[in-house]
Chains A and B, each alone.
Chain A
Amino acid sequence: MFTLSDTPIDADALKRLVNTQEAGAYVAFEGWVRNHNEGQAVTGLEYEAYEALAVKEGNKIIDEAQKFSILKAHCVHRTGALKIGDMAVMVVVTSAHRKEAFAACEFIIDEIKKRLPIWKRETYVDGSTSWVNCAHNHEAVHETAQASGAKS
């Protein structure tokens, strides 16, 4: 399942959500807010989501990850204002063996970044702000749906 959250992500609760006795492997990815991006010192950021479509597309991605023969998968993405070090996104996957869980976890976070209508506005030390991938990238071409290039 995919969800959006405007409050801090509870990593332990997510881990319990995918826990099952058939699982021999649990893989988790946490994306954190770092203090710099493309050479600029970042002091904070804000995520905005087009909720109806983000949730729909996020759940489609989780469904697609079933091709790795996993047991359970879940992803939560934050919205709202975040500080340096805050968790922005978390993906959790369980499977019988580790290989499938690693592959599915990577697939999910890669697709989330590429396809979900979620935007990030960074605030810099001088107080200026910028929508990542929008301000300096007017010629960017959407892939399936969006531009690529963001790294977490």
Chain B
Amino acid sequence: MEALAHLAAAESKTVRVDYFALLKEQRGLASENLETRSSTVLELYEELQKRHGFSLKHSSVAVALNDEFADWSEKLTERDKVVFIPPVAGG
């Protein structure tokens, strides 16, 4: 059972990630659909940070899941839209 639960957690899913500002520059594109085995939004950020060399630590970034601010511990599900929010500078 334990092994099965572990498999479920690591199940691959396709999510959409949108990028803005510095992260868009560092990723080189504004949006992508990608397949991931990350189970939380934090794991996904760390996975992408490693792959693309994002300079911002997750502690200075916020995250939105399906157009709502979310916690880093939030679980990813199939077809989620994820946006990582670098330090803002409106006004």
Contacts and interface: CB of A to CB of B under 8 A. Distances in A.
A152 B13 CA distance: 42
Contact of B88 (A31, A56, A116): A116
Given A53-B69, A56-B67, A119-B20, A140 B91 contact: no
A73 interface: no
Interface stretch (B2-10, B32-40, B55-63): B55-63
A134 interface: yes
B48 interface: no
B67 A53 contact: yes
B87 A146 contact: yes
Contacts of A89: 90-91
Contact of A113 (B21, B57, B91): B91
Contact of A146 (B55, B62, B83): B62
A146 B87 CA distance: 5
A109 B85 contact: no
Interface residues of A, number: 42
Contacts of B64: 50, 53, 117
Contacts of A125: none
Interface of B: 18, 20-22, 24-25, 55-57, 59-62, 64, 67-69, 83, 85-91
Interface of A: 31, 47-50, 52-54, 56-57, 77, 88-89, 109, 112-121, 131-135, 137-142, 144-147, 149-150, 152
28 contacts: A31-B91, A50-B64, A50-B85, A52-B67, A53-B69, A57-B69, A88-B91, A89-B91, A112-B90, A117-B20, A117-B64, A118-B91, A119-B21, A131-B25, A131-B86, A133-B88, A135-B22, A138-B55, A138-B56, A138-B57, A139-B57, A140-B87, A141-B60, A142-B61, A142-B62, A142-B85, A147-B60, A150-B91
